[in-house]
């Protein structure tokens, strides 16, 4: 699968692991990143991931997350078409950065966008786009069950 992973996922391992949900999502993300390293999934990166990550207040986390760009199969750059698509998505009540992530995932040919953001998950379902937007735990469950 071609995966677009948003920063809520990349940041999850740095969150307080005392909550069961956060711990399960972190474990799923580590398993998915391992799948990428092993070549079973491919990572799609984008300019908006780089932009958003550059604003991270903790340099060690920012640097660690930024390393994943080097593992990406493709890096989506900003373009007029991408900006227009992001505007179209934002018109459906999706915040600008989330719309840019969705548009970048589409343009990059991702099959799935992974996020831990419940609001984005709900809103993306209403968009009716071909791109699947799911939580990393649900994705890992699917690939573990179906190969």
Q: Give dist(CA 46, CA 4) in Å, integer.
A: 9
Of the CATH numbers 3.40.50.300, 3.40.50.720, 3.40.50.1010, 3.40.50.620, which one belongs to the domain with range 2-146? 3.40.50.1010
How far is CA 136 from each of CA 22, 87, 88, 132, rounded to the nearest angstrom?
A: 11, 26, 26, 12
Q: What is the pLDDT of residues 32-72, one digit of tens each?
A: 999 999 999 999 999 999 999 999 999 999 999 999 999 99
- Domain spans of the chain, in order of start: 2-146
Phi-psi region of 71 (alpha: psi -120 to 50; beta: other; left: phi over 0): alpha
* pTM score of the predicted model: 0.94
Contacts of 64 (CB under 8 A, 6+ apart): none
pLDDT at 7 over 70: yes
Confidence of residue 76 (pLDDT cuts 50, 70, 90): very high
């Amino acid at each position: 699968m071609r995966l677009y992973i948003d920063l809520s996922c990349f940041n999850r391992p740095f969150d307080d692991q005392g909550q069961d949900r956060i711990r399960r999502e972190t474990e799923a993300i580590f398993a998915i990143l391992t799948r990428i390293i092993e070549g079973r999934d491919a990572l799609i990166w984008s300019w908006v991931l780089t932009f958003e990550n550059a604003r991270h207040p903790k340099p060690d986390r920012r640097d660690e997350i930024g390393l994943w760009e080097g593992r990406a199969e493709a890096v989506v750059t900003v373009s007029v078409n991408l900006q227009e698509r992001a505007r179209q998505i934002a018109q459906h009540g999706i915040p600008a950065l989330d719309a840019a992530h969705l548009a970048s995932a589409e343009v990059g040919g991702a099959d799935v966008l992974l996020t831990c953001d419940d609001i984005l998950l709900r809103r993306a379902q209403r968009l009716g786009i071909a791109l699947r937007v799911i939580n990393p735990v649900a994705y890992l469950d699917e690939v573990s069950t179906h190969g």
